[in-house]
Amino acid sequence: MTELISTEEIAEANDLLSGAAPTEILKWGVERYGSRLTMATAFGPEGCILIHMLAEIGANIRLFNLDTGYQFPETLALREQLIARYGLEIELVSAEKSPAEYEREHGGPLYVSNSDQCCYDRKIVPLRRALAGYEAWITAIRADQSAARAQAKTIGWDAKFGLMKVNPLLRWTRRDVWAFIVSNKIPYNPLHDRGYPSVGCFPCTKAVGAGEDERAGRWAGQAKTECGLHSLDSSQL
Kindly list the catalytic residues: 227
How far from 132 is each of 125, 157, 161, 209, CA to CA, in Å? Answer: 11, 15, 9, 39
Single-letter residue type at 79: R
| Helix H or strand E encompassing 7 | helix 7-17
How far from 173 is each of 2, 77, 178, CA to CA, in Å? Answer: 32, 26, 9
Q: Taking the CB of residue 49, how many other CB atoms lie within 10 A of it?
A: 23
- DSSP code string of 99-135: HHHHHHHTTS-HHHH-HHHHHIIIIIHHHHHHHTT-S
Closest CA to 127 of 98, 99, 93: 93
User: What is the distance between the alpha carbons of residues 217 and 200, in angstroms, rounded to a whole number?
Assistant: 9
Starting from the edge strand earliest in sequence, which strands make up the sheet with 62-67, in order?
Answer: 91-94, 62-67, 37-40, 136-138, 163-166, 155-158
User: ∠ CA(110), CA(116), CA(119), 5° rounding?
Assistant: 80
91 phi/psi in degrees, rounded to 5: -70, 145
Is 119 annotated to bind a ligand? Reply is: yes
Is 48 annotated to bind a ligand? Reply is: no
Q: Which residues are annotated as a binding site?
A: 118-119, 201, 204
Please enumerate, by residue number, every residue annotated as part of a binding site for [4Fe-4S] cluster.
118-119, 201, 204
